[in-house]
């Protein structure tokens, strides 16, 4: 599913949640919507990731909010025996919150030098 500003963030989340993503990803997307609310806007998405922004807030503020809610955000993934939630900075300077599941890694990242261009959720 590709797009850029077509429809609301809520509409795109609904499509993804009821689409062909795994139950773990569906749960994380549902919690993302609960935590960030109706101003969540999906900037772009494809089969493995989406980029989003929350209107009225900086990406740094939103990422801090995700860090503060990381246990709630990833609760279904950790309940299914995944690895612990990790927070860190990669070698490019991008900050991340990551959890490994049975099949893959779920990760939110704030790309270095891209404040204002959205947060990436890889699944």
Domain range for 97: 9-122
In-domain check, residue 4: no
Average pLDDT of every residue of the chain: 82
In-domain check, residue 92: yes
Confidence class for position 18, pLDDT limits 50, 70, 90: low
In-domain check, residue 71: yes
In-domain check, residue 2: no
Confidence class for position 3, pLDDT limits 50, 70, 90: very low
In-domain check, residue 118: yes
In-domain check, residue 102: yes
- What pLDDT, on the 0 to 100 scale, is given for residue 114? 82
Strands (E), the chain: 40-45, 49-54, 86-89, 95-100, 105-110, 119-122
In-domain check, residue 21: yes
User: Per the structure, how many domains does the chain have?
Assistant: 1
């Amino acid at each position: 599913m590709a797009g850029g500003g077509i429809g609301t963030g809520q509409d795109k989340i609904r499509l993804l949640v009821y689409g062909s993503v795994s139950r773990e990803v569906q749960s994380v997307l549902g919690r993302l919507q609960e935590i960030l609310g109706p101003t969540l806007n999906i900037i772009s998405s494809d089969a493995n990731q989406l980029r989003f922004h929350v209107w009225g807030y900086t990406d740094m503020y939103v990422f801090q909010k995700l860090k503060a809610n990381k246990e709630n955000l990833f609760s279904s993934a950790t309940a299914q025996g995944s690895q612990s939630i990790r927070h860190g900075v990669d070698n490019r300077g991008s900050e991340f919150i990551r959890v490994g599941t049975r099949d893959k890694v779920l990760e939110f990242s704030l790309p270095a030098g891209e404040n204002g261009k959205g947060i990436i959720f890889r699944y």
